[in-house]
Amino acid sequence: MQHRWSFAALIVLISTQATGASFDDQATTSLHDHAADLELTPDNWQQVVDIIANDKRQIIISTFQGVKPKITEMTGNFMTWLHSANVSNNVLFMSEGPENSCPALWEKGIPCWHDAACPQGDQLPEQLGHYRNAQVHWYCKYWWGATLTEAGYTVLFLDNDAVVVGDPFQGMQPDRYDLEALSDWVQRTLPPDPMDTVRAAHECIYTYLYDEDSGKQYLSGTSEPLSKANHPITPCFSTGMWFAQPRPATTKFFRDLLQRVLEVHVEWDQAAANEVLMGHLLNLNANHDALRFRLLPHDQYTNLRTYEQWAMAGQHTREVVIHPCCTADKVGDMRKAHLWQIDEWQASWGEEILTGFLACLSDKWSDQCKTYRAHDVAPVHLHSARKNHRAWKSSLVKEVSPKHLRHRLLQLRF
């Protein structure tokens, strides 16, 4: 059945004024009034994506599953930095799985779409229990990668704990690569060829669990007898952030990854992605063009622990996206680095985004839609946070003695 859009409430959707309240104290109900507008279906997703993507057909997507306080808070920080980078209009943030988890985010004024367009991994067996929810989430994440690249969009996927401090698209090299991704490589300087990380796989091993009888890999917590093992080789590809260009080789990679998710149940999606990527890097399937892939440079797109190594060494960085990977206390580490700015988020910003989106949905030639498409907004610049963050980086160098710094540099040499 054709999806019906409601526009009556658009006239009365009034943005609240910024009050300086903390994130916990802020609440909005107007996004709840647009639950039907904030649902993706097989009939409307192309129209939604066309509005959210920028004029270069670039779109940012992020997915989540389930409702936990930390998801809401992390997303508030995520959206604050995206708003500061003036790209919050270009974000399609989706709740995966049959249950709509968006209402908790709507309460904070965060635009969130319930994804009823993805087939939800209908072939995944029900007996996977609660692990099936995670698998559905991963399936839809890569389904959108395949679907959007096939439809001609450049896709930037970001985990919702990423911190975007600049134009996230600036570091892409679309003429040279089909797929570019963040790396969990531990060294500051990446090898020139992703295959070099494979040759030093001990630096980046993804551990999984597998059923000794069937050979299938599982996450812990299932009833089967499991044994630990390591993926023998990996290009150290992090699925927390990637650029995908609209090319057949990229779409084929995601289609193969979807098949892997269906065949190897409850394998960690990052382990699965590295396994599939290896076949494409080696071009094991001669029926399609080889995937042109690179790991993004660590001085622009980096994990927080690697970023700290750059700062300790006193090296200049041009950071664009910082991902708090591989740390036991993400929020604590982000606070130390002055990257946790959740209380800067204002519910009115999300309402303004939705108002512009609905204006384009109603009349793409309207002045309100043109303003929305032109990003003619006043983003928060987080001047104080940026200043404090720079001071934190400088302190890492000052706190290290020359002798210790020399020792650290020797450790960090590749």
- Percentage, residues of the chain above pLDDT 90: 35
Q: Which residues pair with 229 in a beta bridge?
A: 208
The answer on pLDDT for 280 being more than 90 is no
Look at 11 and 133; give whichever has higher pLDDT.
133
Whole-prediction pTM: 0.84
H-helix or E-strand spanning residue 229: strand 226-230
Kindly list the structural domains of the chain, giving each domain's residue range(s) and its CATH number in brackets, ordered by start: 24-198+237-397 (3.90.550.10)
Cβ neighbours of residue 119 closer than 8 Å, sequence gap 6 or more:
143
pLDDT at residue 118 tops 90: yes
Model confidence at 79, pLDDT cuts 50, 70, 90, reads very high
Residue 238 clears pLDDT 70, i.e. is over it: yes
Looking at residues 130-158, what average pLDDT do you find? Answer: 90
Structure tokens at 402: 């020359």
User: Which element (helix H / strand E) includes 180?
Assistant: strand 179-183
CA dist., res. 156 & res. 27, Å (int): 29
What are the pLDDT digits (tens) for 330-352? 899 899 888 999 888 888 889 99
Quick one: pLDDT at residue 383? 78
> Backbone phi, then psi, for 313, in 5-degree steps?
-80, 0
What pLDDT score does 150 carry? 97
Write down the residue that tokens 């959108």 correspond to. Answer: 144
Residue 306 clears pLDDT 70, i.e. is over it? yes
Angle in degrees, CA 130, 133, 137, rounded to 5: 155
Q: What is the DSSP letter of 291?
A: P
pLDDT, averaged across the chain: 78
Give the model confidence (pLDDT) of 347-370 as tens digits: 888 999 999 999 999 998 898 888
